[in-house]
Structure 1
């Protein structure tokens, strides 16, 4: 039996993990994966956390409350009861629209209330400092890749695939316009949407279908892809594309990489950071280069696959180790 005298020092500072929301939500699922890899106890009810104990929360305000101010108040209340560390997801930025100021203020309050905070990229860390709370100092622990690179698979060579929830700015419309341009040039590209509409955005799918029909572009909407079928679905498309604007971090890009694909990703500070973290896993494009990049990928399909032997780190075990080191450092 492991006792308090023999237990490794880091084990004593791994906080309980409070999971909020359904496991189908990417943030909740990721929080559970980190907890499992780090050896943390998962708690679903904040009321079960011991007064004065340690807890960690992966924060996206929408999972806590539809009202950002209420979300901040709930986290502040939790931080008064326990020593709380947080990982910030969906960091606010002006493209959030009317909710931006409220979300930025809420994240600033959450940072101030927590014992320590983390983001998944330096890009997000900079967003926190620029829009939420100036001169705050957090840590950065990148999202891991889970999966092993296999050989190339048979694909539907003409299909441009976009994975994840459908919402404004995700890039589906731009991919449809690019497909129309390719078809005018003699390449019979089609669009496959691997995902369902985000909550409140069912009209986006209707609009996409109308736009594709008007442009003469065949489009297929799969709806939500079951977890067990994601890898095969991502390996089936001809060209993987992640065209969303104003991204702060992207689980969908990591899913493409985990499936062995080298997606075309819109150029951004975050995309450049990830391309430097994992060389050889992304192909960047901007508004002026999407069509030629797609044309090259359709003509040279090997460019859409990651080469065997490419380093995909950090892996989940690396991420868990980074969290344990950080929790040990802030435990005092």
Structure 2
């Protein structure tokens, strides 16, 4: 009898412990998915960059103290079937929001638009970006120029800039749509662009860069040239391969786009006299990459440099439809150039006849 009583007591104790454990777990989970601080209603504006993964979204929320537990938040998002539907953009939250409320807003794309809307196009130069900002009364030209030419001002916040070879923010001012307050400082405006670049240049791309034994600056420099040379997305990896093939045999890149950068304001076309310019950006005279990026590339051009096509091409020339014709030899290239000129002349004559 005593044995049975003892056994029964042990079962009851085990049951009680199990129930208490379950209650504890449930209470813990409820507290973790609830508000970060139900008494703090101070607004927090966050930015979820385009293409962000669930992990990246979670990191942003955690950094801004909007969620308590990253693992539980991700699990909750997956269980609610919203993990793949979270949308990019600027959002307004506060610490009274629960995980459920945050996930619902992100899934529905309840974007918060605050301030002046500025769209930085892919391939814009720092000069063009400054002009765009100043025209919209966002900061002063002189301060922007000084900051852009002094990356050290930003390296503490953005460690990827902590490299002596990076002498300008050109290339890292990521093209996207931003909302700026009119009283926002020039440094904070540029920091938002640098932050977006940081989020785009994810671990996968960083790993690929190391596999190619390249520095970040080399990748961005070449990506900026690809950005200015490409019209169609499908051409980007092929153009990157052409430049790689040239560099591998110490052949100058001979990119008109790098010479255009010398003039600050884009010329209608590059002349033979322009090819004689004494400048480190004249890639007809100087082999290798220019001293800085020549524009701010989008993610597709960056990916093209990190994952170039496998070709033996050394030349390319534009086609009337916006694409390119590629060739391995100079002789082939000359024929393609002549064909382009014929096609262009035919098109121009056609336009004249239509008028």
- Give the TM interval when normalised to the shorter protein: under 0.3
Select the structure that is richer in strand.
Answer: 1
Q: TM-score scaled by structure 2? A: 0.25
Structure with a larger share of its residues in helix: 2
Larger Rg computed on CA atoms: 2
If asked which structure has higher relative contact order (CA below 8 Å, sep 6+), I would say 1
> TM-score if structure 1 supplies the norm length?
0.26
